[in-house]
Amino acid sequence: MTDVMAISDHIRTYAVIPAAGRGLRLAEDSSLPKQYTIVCGKPLIYHTINAFLRIKWIDKLIVVFDAENSKLMEEIVGSIGH
């Protein structure tokens, strides 16, 4: 049992948030995908990233996004300040 616990102590946990789709059904402005739709004053992806950052056992968070909106995503991630 000790060997299993020693191995599990070194396991890293990664979370991947897919945010490269269009998802236009939710967005009022069809020029932006739904992950950028404003909900409670912030883009939806902002809330999603913050929720994952609060999970202590996740070691690394990876957000996959499209190159077309890379500047917008960089601004959102930069505003989180984590």
**Secondary structure (3-state) at 3:** helix
HSE toward the beta carbon, residue 78, CA cutoff 13 A: 6
Residue with tokens 């992806």: 45
Helices (H), the chain: 2-8, 44-53, 70-80
- Asked whether residue 17 is assigned to any structural domain, the reply reads no
27-52 mean pLDDT: 87
Q: How confident is the model at residue 5 (pLDDT cuts 50, 70, 90)?
A: low
> Residues near 60 by Cβ (< 8 Å), separated by ≥ 6?
12, 13, 14, 15
Count of structural domains within the chain: 1
39-59 mean pLDDT: 95
- Asked whether residue 7 is assigned to any structural domain, the reply reads no
- Asked whether residue 29 is assigned to any structural domain, the reply reads no
- Asked whether residue 70 is assigned to any structural domain, the reply reads yes
* Residue range of the domain that includes 58: 34-81
**Secondary structure (3-state) at 76:** helix
Residue 30 has pLDDT above 60, yes or no: yes
44-49 mean pLDDT: 96
31-50 mean pLDDT: 92
- Asked whether residue 12 is assigned to any structural domain, the reply reads no
23-32 mean pLDDT: 64
